[in-house]
Amino acid sequence: MLSFRIRRYFNKKYTTILFDLDGTLTDPKTGITKSVAYALKSFGIEIKDLDSLCKFIGPPLRVSFRDYYGFSEKDCVKAIEKYREYFRETGLFENKVYPGIENLLKNLKQSGRNLFVATSKPTVFAVRIIEHFNLLRYFNYVAGSELDGSRDSKSDVIKFALQENGLTDLTNVVMVGDREHDVIGAKENNIDVIGVLYGYGDRTELEKAGATYVVETVEELNELLMCKTELDYNGQ
């Protein structure tokens, strides 16, 4: 399949927008990396450089502990339990909203768009974070995983969000996220996806996964979703 980039005026109005949480709405770097380091320490693994754990931001924890440290399913469960010991009390709030995000959400809501959160993070934690930053008022619904580890793939979370809200016409539905898991999950549910570069993925990762569009900043995302811009289209 050939992939090429062209310039065209963007005039498609997305009326339903699903947002990833970590790396898209908020920057959770400090809280997540400290929580992972805390969990790894219980296995005798000392982490000196927290930045080396940024790869945990985005994918399901179970997948990350398995892929990056070779943990068995049993050890993944234990690691996630230790992770949550730190995260639920402290790491949850070692987080910050990206500059411009609240203004973006406000603009979209005022223009009549339906906004949702679709995250691999457990719903109970996602809601607490969104409430903490006073952003819950902008969203119709928050979809996440379960604490028992079920529904943690982004594809399953997106499917759940669509089904729970009776969204069957996907023509004007789009997913916004910063990692390949967001792109893959959106494509598996037959919806467009916008990759953002201000989070923890890069252009190569997002384009290789098949992002419909890739934007560099929150400002570009605002212009795209408000139909105010001409930008590169990743035609396939």
Which residues are catalytically annotated?
20
Pairing of strands 230-235, 4-9: antiparallel
44 CB contacts (<8 Å, ≥6 apart)? none
The DSSP secondary-structure symbol of 89 reads T
Note whether 207 and 232 are within 8 A (CB).
no
CB 213 within 8 A of CB 233: yes
> What does the alpha-carbon distance between residue 140 and residue 33 come to, in Å, rounded to a whole number?
29
Cα–Cα distance measured from residue 12 to residue 35, given in angstroms and rounded to the nearest whole number: 40
Residue with tokens 């990056």: 68
Give the tokens for residue 194.
Answer: 């916008």
Report the alpha-carbon distance of residue 192 to residue 172 in Å, rounded: 8
Q: At CA 73, angle to CA 70 and CA 77, rounded to 5?
A: 105
